[in-house]
């Protein structure tokens, strides 16, 4: 029997989003609806599986874990990149790694970022909580039209965000470590140095890949440059922002608020201090979580497994 594990299916939809029966009666699919938070927990739960299907980067797969999964032969990752999987270690152990297509996450993530911008500017989460307690109109919002949107990162996501910002009538600035004025213009934004962007933006939205150069990129110094009326939006990766510095800035009202979809630790712990702040809009890493993206992910997982079993694996991932 080929044992298949589908990980981190929080909404319990994996089995309904694709026809897993097409893999044949000699395949058993097990779905995990909770995060396996430690290497020990993951090793114990997954030791008996031949195939592991990862949903984005919800569960890291370091070399230490791979060494404790003796039956593992195939890993399927969702999207063309997974920076928490030790691809070289998998390759060294003879484990095949394939990937799905990205679905509509290109649109989904930027639309969520736009939603967080609007929710912050109009205090929607705060007012929603008040309405449920019988209260009425407690805040005065701001429009985004005519304001300045500062984008950290102007790749595919950042350029799409620039388009959405312009549609709202916003002035769009952009910065990243390698961005030039010419590339900024081509991406629909005006280039600004990092300090200028933080000083002038009414909304700073992050669209960078997490790496050594971007970890902690937004810290106390950058937050101190922001206007007291400005908002920070992060739909990329939590550790790009110094979480402690952000919490301090929010508590002391040194910035107006934040819209966050990503965190240092996910799922966000129940007693985390961010949950107690009234000037932050929180969503549980929903950026890519749409029906269209999920159907692509799960249907492609089935395709990847079937192709691998037939000896002709598709969409292979290899270490550089």
- What's the pLDDT tens digit per position in 5-27? 999 999 999 999 999 999 999 99
**Entry pTM:** 0.93
Q: What is the rounded CA–CA span in Å between residue 65 and residue 82?
A: 16
Pairing of strands 148-152, 257-260: unpaired
Where the chain has pLDDT below 70, the residues are none
Q: Which of 101, 111, 266, 309 is catalytic?
A: 266
Structure tokens at 310: 């037939």
Question: Dihedral of CA 149/152/154/160: which sign?
Answer: negative
Residue 94: left (phi > 0), alpha (psi -120 to 50), or beta?
left
Is the bond preceding 101 in cis, omega lying within 30 degrees of 0? no
- For the chain, list the strands marked E by DSSP: 2-6, 27-31, 51-54, 74-77, 96-99, 148-152, 171-175, 190-191, 203-206, 231-234, 257-260, 280-282
Annotation marks residue 285 as catalytic: yes
pLDDT for position 84: 86
Q: Which of 56, 160, 207, 285 is catalytic?
A: 285
Annotation marks residue 271 as catalytic: no
Query: Residue 239 in contact with residue 267, Cβ under 8 Å?
Result: no
Burial class, 83, CB count within 10 angstroms (exposed 0-12 / middle 13-18 / buried 19+): exposed
Domains along the sequence of the chain with CATH = 2-104+290-309 (3.40.50.720), 105-282 (3.40.50.720)
pLDDT for position 105: 85
Q: Which of 207, 237, 243, 303 is catalytic?
A: 237
pLDDT for position 83: 84
Annotation marks residue 207 as catalytic: no
pLDDT for position 320: 75
């Amino acid at each position: 029997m080929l044992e298949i594990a589908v990980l981190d299916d929080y909404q319990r939809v994996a089995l309904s989003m694709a026809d897993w029966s097409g893999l044949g009666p000699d395949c058993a699919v097990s779905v995990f609806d909770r995060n396996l938070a430690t290497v020990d927990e993951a090793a114990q739960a997954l030791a008996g599986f031949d195939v592991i299907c990862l949903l984005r980067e919800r569960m890291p797969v370091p070399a230490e874990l791979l060494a404790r999964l003796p039956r593992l032969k195939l890993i399927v990752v969702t999207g063309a990149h997974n920076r928490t999987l030790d691809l070289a270690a998998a390759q060294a152990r003879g484990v095949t790694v394939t990937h799905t297509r990205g679905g509509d996450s290109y649109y989904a993530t930027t639309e969520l970022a736009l939603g967080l911008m609007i929710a912050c500017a109009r205090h929607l989460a705060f007012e929603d909580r008040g309405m449920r307690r019988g209260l009425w109109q407690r805040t005065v919002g701001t429009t985004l039209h005519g304001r300045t949107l500062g984008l950290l990162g102007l790749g595919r996501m950042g350029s799409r965000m620039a388009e959405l910002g312009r549609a709202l009538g916003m002035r769009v600035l952009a910065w990243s470590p390698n961005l030039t004025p010419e590339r900024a213009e081509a991406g629909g934004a005006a280039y600004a140095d990092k300090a200028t962007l933080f000083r002038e933006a009414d909304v700073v939205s992050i669209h960078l890949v997490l790496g050594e150069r971007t970890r902690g990129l937004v810290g106390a110094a950058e937050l101190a440059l922001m206007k007291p009326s400005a908002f920070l939006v992060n739909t990329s990766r939590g550790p790009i922002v110094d979480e402690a510095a952000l919490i301090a800035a929010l508590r002391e009202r040194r910035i107006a608020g934040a819209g966050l979809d990503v965190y240092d630790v996910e799922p966000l712990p129940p007693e985390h201090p961010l949950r107690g702040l009234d000037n932050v809009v929180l969503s549980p890493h929903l950026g890519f979580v749409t029906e269209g993206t999920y159907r692509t992910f799960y249907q492609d997982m089935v395709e990847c497994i079937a192709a691998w079993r037939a000896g002709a694996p598709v969409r292979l991932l290899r270490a550089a």
